[in-house]
Amino acid sequence: MFHGIDPRSPIPLYVQIAERIRLAIATGTLGSAAPLPSVRQLAAELRVNPATIIQAYRDLEAQGFVEIRHGAGTFVRELAPGRRARERSQQAAALVRKLLADARRSGVSLAELHRALEAELGVKTP
């Protein structure tokens, strides 16, 4: 779930971690009432400051994705219908924005990107 967390990225680590968890909730990898790893466990596993994990969990709580029960842990909340789908489409939009920004930086034109996308999809999907 946390593959590719990048401490060198300008995006703060807590934002990256919260994003991964949001994606896992949106895709159903983490179902309703599923427990998140403890702060201690995840800090040691990702080798990041425990405060970073706490910040990520607090943000997820403020956004309504999880519930922090003191002494018990952090759990995924029951989401309103449509919220998972909405979250997934937001994630998709974010991925496309990143792709377009990368393309611009490396000087790839929109038409070239379009052709590459079609070619890639043509090969990958039956």
Partner 1 sequence: MTYAIETEHLRYRVGKAFEISALDLRVPTGSIYGFLGPNGSGKTTTIRLILGLLQPVSGRITVLGRPMPAQYARILRHIGYVPEQPHLDATMTVRELLDFQAAFYAQWDRPRAEELVQRFELDPGRLFGRLSKGQKAKVMILLALAQRGELLVLDEPTDGLDPVVRRDILSALLTYVSERGATILISSHLVHELERVCDWIAVMDNGRLITESPMDKIKHGTKRLVVTGAPAEIGNPPFQLLTRESANGAGEYWVVGNWEPDMTTYVESLGASIRDVIDLDLEEGFVELLRGFRAKERAVRV
Interface with partner 1, residue 49, by CB under 8 A: yes
DSSP state of 48: -
Contacts 24+ apart (CB under 8 A), 91-95: 91/22, 91/23, 91/26
Q: For partner 1, give the closer residue by CB, 19 or 77.
A: 19
Interface with partner 1, residue 78, by CB under 8 A: no
Please pick, from the candidates 3, 47, 70, 124, the single residue that binds partner 1 as defined by CB under 8 A. 47
At which residue do the structure tokens 């490396």 appear?
Answer: 106
CA separation for the pair 96, 88 (Å, rounded): 12
At closest approach, how far in Å is the CB of 84 from partner 1? 30
Ordered alpha helix ranges (H), the chain: 13-26, 39-46, 50-62, 83-106, 110-124
Q: Is residue 39 within 8 Å of 53, Cβ to Cβ?
A: yes
Return the residues of window 8-37 that contact partner 1 according to CB under 8 A. Answer: 8-10, 12-13
At closest approach, how far in Å is the CB of 55 from partner 1? 10
Interface with partner 1, residue 101, by CB under 8 A: no
Interface with partner 1, residue 95, by CB under 8 A: no
Please pick, from the candidates 33, 51, 62, 100, the single residue that binds partner 1 as defined by CB under 8 A. 51
Give the binding site for partner 1 (CB under 8 A): 7-10, 12-13, 39-40, 43-52
